Chains A and B, each alone.
Chain A
Amino acid sequence: MSTDKATEPRPAVKGADRRQVLGGAVVLSALAGIPLYAWNREREGRDGAGATDSEKLLLARLSDLVVPATGTPGAVAVGVPAFVELALLHGLEDTASEDSGKVKMGGDRGGLPLLEEVKKGLNRHADAPFLTLSPERQHIALESYDAEAFAPEQKDHPWKKIKGLILTGYYTSEVGASRELQYELVPGRYDPDLPLPVNNRSWSSDWTAVDFG
């Protein structure tokens, strides 16, 4: 894992790549085909609430940059953006908080405004509109922004919350929990001391690890 990016020179990335904007639109339309009951319910149930198209596009890009397709599907393919949108609307991960942990009850948009902060931060790190960049340049800009967010001196940072929700969305999806990781609802026994396989995969159903890990 790279954790020292904050000390490296900021990548000088300029100029929009029109093909990537179009590519983003394709991603967005692909999202509409995913059975995202929660997202759709939210859209139907609220007047003007929910993410804007550009927020959805940003969420989709960020989700796949954090958890790309590898041997298993990536975040967009398993519907993470819709979960994050729902989660933001309902203030999960303290995203709709005013002060310390107090969830705001009034705002229709819940924690969605955090996405605007994240976008500004990314644009700053990219020296260009983040969504217009090529995937490679987006990766570099996000890596730099991520390093800033996780620097030891940082406490609250909007990206930590969004990234946390992306991770939750992925590792609690069926693919993330049971194909990328392992899931066993009924272990049936307790083995207190086993050799750890070299290519080990952790248990998404180890609830103690999920809580305290």
Chain B
Amino acid sequence: MSMDFDAIVVGSGITGGWAAKELTEKGLKVLMIERGRMIEHGTDYVTETKAPWEMEFRGEGDAKLYADEYPVQRLNRHFTEFTQNHFVNDKDNPYAVADGTKFNWWRSYQLGGRSLTWGRQSYRWSDYDFGANKADGYGTDWPIRYADLAPWYDYVEEFIGVSGAAEGLASLPDGKFQPPMALNVVEQHVRKAIAQRWPDRCLTVGRTANLTAPKEGRAPCQYRSICARGCSYGAYFSTQSSTLPAAQATGRLTVVTDSLVEAVDYDPATKKATGVRVVNVKTGERSRYGARIIFLNASAFNSVHILLRSRSEAFPNGLANSSGVLGTHVMDHASTLSTMALIPGFEDRTTFGNRPTGVVIPRYRNLDKKDGDFTRGYSFQGGALQSGWTAAKRSAGIGKAYKEQNRKVGGWRMVFVGFAESLPRVTNRLTLDPVKLDPQGLPMLNIHFEHGDNERRALADAKAEAAKMMEAAGGHVIMGFDEPGVGGSAIHEMGGARMGHDPATSVLNRWSQAHDIANLFVTDGAQMSSSACQNPSLTYMALTARACDHAVSLMKEGAL
């Protein structure tokens, strides 16, 4: 067959955009395939500048439509009338869950994928994270360590623009930061109170892929905090604002949209992937593209889904699955609102502008000594805010005095949301549903996911410690929880095609390359062997850039 392209990149989200950029910049002719619709930067952000009164449902959206067609997506805090066009229609994109389990799978099928809707929190992992599986025996040892990835973190941060404060913490390594966004007056106070009592705990501003200084045709953040509508300033990292223009500038990128990759084709004679089979989701038309190398960047669960669907005589249980572990050991952070507290003493202070990031308290448990009754750790994200008009919904009152009260800025409150590391477990697993078919006639993905006791113990400690920290800062705790949200709630689902040393127990090698198939790379969340407790996207990006570099080196050597 003819080689239409040097490389095919499946998916156009956070890692797909990176793969397209890196491979085209290294001289390859690349096809990027996106299952969702085209979204042009700027012009297609149709709700970006709308006011609530310009929206039919004032920004809250049509609850009846949502119940019928968006029953899962509607549970996401970022899903509103302003952003619904950046999330999937659940009715058209069904998935199955194992009996007795739940999983909220929040998805964005469109050019740019979830890079348009992501939380933008950008954290490096440390050797506490890369060494965790080896240290306690859960999962398989990562075949890489921090030193392998550090230069790639540098490379990615400098390109996407990450604002943050260097703190010199071993558990959350510093990066190449743009100037940090500011902590507000209450957060500054709480930072000091925590540092005073717990020298090993640090509250710092969230490291976020929102620019605080201009960068290559992108303007700095305007402090609107409506990112998920799309940002025509290009102030946050998305495929559209950042990697896509770079890839397009090479003249070597072809993009197709509305095209679902049904399967990756494999030639048992050469032991290589030869291309992909595609179905147009609008017309049902089927076609095929060929390439010398294939990068799967369809998002963790979808990349696994493609491999599971790509069955052949050589790989009856899914492509690149000679180990049998494909689909297993999937993870998502166990998260919950650990505490909410009123913080008195700042009634005469306020802020201006909407900062698109919160604060973070990096992991402090079980680092160099075991000081929690669980393995690994948790971190907090949150922030201090003053309530606005919606507080009136919880208040008795009517009439003039009530209206007068409602116009005022409310009291300060602070929240810490705990994110506990999710252990890799063989029982948390993706399979092809044996019965149910999706609208394309393909077997649905079946998700079996449950949080375990370790996550619950970590969140119990998080709740207790969060309350202590609030109280040390003079806060009055008004609520707190330790039961994790339904799986998927952290939107950090990952794993399923894990990296490892041994082809018998892992899908990918240290270069995100399939042990079984040399020209097949999986560089999205599927490759993760553990979950750490910080946001994973920056690590996916660094691993993608590193894998692209390796793949092109192998091609130049003639090894691919």
A residues apposed to B, CB below 8 Å: 1-3, 5, 38, 65-68, 70, 83, 86-87, 89-94, 96, 102-103, 105, 110, 139, 142-143, 146-147, 149-150, 160, 163-164, 167-169, 171-174, 177-178, 180-181, 183, 185-196, 200-213
Q: Does B407 contact A (CB under 8 A)?
A: yes
A139–B59 alpha-carbon span in the complex (Å): 30
The 8 Å CB contact of B354, one of A142, A150, A207, is: A207
A187 with B224, Cβ < 8 A, contacts A2-B396, A177-B51 known: yes
A204 with B351, Cβ < 8 A, contacts A147-B396, A211-B77 known: no
Q: Does B355 contact A (CB under 8 A)?
A: yes
Give B55's nearest chain A residue, CB to CB: A172
Q: Does B182 contact A (CB under 8 A)?
A: yes
Contact A194 B397 (CB under 8 A): no
A190 with B223, Cβ < 8 A, contacts A103-B67, A181-B407 known: yes
Contact B53 A167 (CB under 8 A): no
Q: Which of B33-85 contact A (CB under 8 A)?
A: 49, 51-53, 56-60, 62-68, 77
Contact B398 A91 (CB under 8 A): no
27 A-B residue pairs with CB within 8 Å: A5-B396, A66-B398, A66-B399, A67-B403, A68-B400, A92-B57, A92-B63, A105-B67, A150-B395, A163-B393, A172-B52, A172-B53, A172-B59, A174-B51, A187-B352, A187-B353, A190-B351, A191-B351, A192-B351, A193-B184, A196-B348, A201-B408, A202-B409, A202-B410, A203-B388, A204-B52, A210-B388
Contact B182 A190 (CB under 8 A): yes
Give A160's nearest chain B residue, CB to CB: B393
Q: Does B181 contact A (CB under 8 A)?
A: yes
Q: Does B390 contact A (CB under 8 A)?
A: yes
Stretch at the interface among B117-125, B362-370, B379-387, B446-454: B379-387
Q: Does B226 contact A (CB under 8 A)?
A: yes
A86: chain B residues at CB < 8 Å are 56-57
Contact A196 B57 (CB under 8 A): no
Contact B393 A164 (CB under 8 A): yes
A146–B398 alpha-carbon span in the complex (Å): 8
The CB with the most chain B CB atoms within 10 A, among A2, A83, A187, is that of: A187
A212 with B56, Cβ < 8 A, contacts A139-B399, A181-B407 known: no
User: Per-residue CB proximity of B187-203 to A under 8 Å, as 1/0?
Assistant: 11000000000000000
Q: Does B26 contact A (CB under 8 A)?
A: no
Contact B400 A70 (CB under 8 A): yes
Q: Does B225 contact A (CB under 8 A)?
A: yes
A188: chain B residues at CB < 8 Å are 222-223, 353
Q: Does B159 contact A (CB under 8 A)?
A: no
Contact B392 A103 (CB under 8 A): no
A90–B65 alpha-carbon span in the complex (Å): 8
A38: chain B residues at CB < 8 Å are 56
The 8 Å CB contact of B386, one of A66, A93, A163, A213, is: A213
Contact A146 B350 (CB under 8 A): no
Contact B350 A196 (CB under 8 A): yes
Q: Does B391 contact A (CB under 8 A)?
A: yes
User: Per-residue CB proximity of B126-166 to A under 8 Å, as 1/0?
Assistant: 00000000000000000000000000000000000000000
The 8 Å CB contact of B222, one of A186, A208, A212, is: A186
Contact A3 B57 (CB under 8 A): no
A194–B415 alpha-carbon span in the complex (Å): 21
Give B187's nearest chain A residue, CB to CB: A192
A138 to chain B, nearest CB (A): 10
Give B392's nearest chain A residue, CB to CB: A167
A82–B8 alpha-carbon span in the complex (Å): 52
Give B56's nearest chain A residue, CB to CB: A38
A185–B54 alpha-carbon span in the complex (Å): 13
Count of chain B residues near A, Cβ 8 A: 67
The 8 Å CB contact of B385, one of A102, A172, A209, is: A209
A180 to chain B, nearest CB (A): 6
A160–B59 alpha-carbon span in the complex (Å): 20
Contact A143 B51 (CB under 8 A): no
Contact A213 B222 (CB under 8 A): no
B391: chain A residues at CB < 8 Å are 213
A213 with B387, Cβ < 8 A, contacts A172-B53, A185-B49 known: yes
Q: Does B438 contact A (CB under 8 A)?
A: no
Contact A187 B354 (CB under 8 A): yes
Contact B415 A212 (CB under 8 A): yes
Q: Does B183 contact A (CB under 8 A)?
A: yes
Give A37's nearest chain B residue, CB to CB: B56
Contact B388 A105 (CB under 8 A): no
A202 with B399, Cβ < 8 A, contacts A173-B53, A188-B222 known: no
The 8 Å CB contact of A177, one of B53, B60, B224, B348, is: B53
A186 to chain B, nearest CB (A): 5
Q: Does B249 contact A (CB under 8 A)?
A: no
Contact B184 A169 (CB under 8 A): no
A190 with B64, Cβ < 8 A, contacts A146-B396, A150-B396 known: no
A193: chain B residues at CB < 8 Å are 184-185, 188, 349, 351
A83 with B58, Cβ < 8 A, contacts A68-B400, A195-B348 known: yes
A202 with B52, Cβ < 8 A, contacts A193-B185, A196-B350 known: no
A88 to chain B, nearest CB (A): 10
User: Per-residue CB proximity of B503-522 to A under 8 Å, as 1/0?
Assistant: 00000000000000000000
- Known contacts A3-B395, A172-B59, then 11 further A-B pairs from the complex at CB < 8 Å, ordered by chain A residue: A1-B397, A86-B57, A90-B63, A103-B66, A147-B396, A167-B393, A178-B51, A193-B349, A194-B349, A200-B408, A209-B388
A97 to chain B, nearest CB (A): 9
A163–B184 alpha-carbon span in the complex (Å): 32
Contact B57 A103 (CB under 8 A): no
A87: chain B residues at CB < 8 Å are 57, 60
The CB with the most chain B CB atoms within 10 A, among A89, A169, A209, is that of: A209
B502: chain A residues at CB < 8 Å are none
A21–B178 alpha-carbon span in the complex (Å): 65
Q: Does B347 contact A (CB under 8 A)?
A: yes
A167–B392 alpha-carbon span in the complex (Å): 8
A2: chain B residues at CB < 8 Å are 396-397, 401
User: Per-residue CB proximity of B340-360 to A under 8 Å, as 1/0?
Assistant: 000000011111111100000
The 8 Å CB contact of A209, one of B63, B353, B387, is: B387
Give A102's nearest chain B residue, CB to CB: B67
B119 to chain A, nearest CB (A): 13
Contact B350 A200 (CB under 8 A): yes
A178–B407 alpha-carbon span in the complex (Å): 11
A65 to chain B, nearest CB (A): 5
A70: chain B residues at CB < 8 Å are 400, 403-404
A174: chain B residues at CB < 8 Å are 51, 53
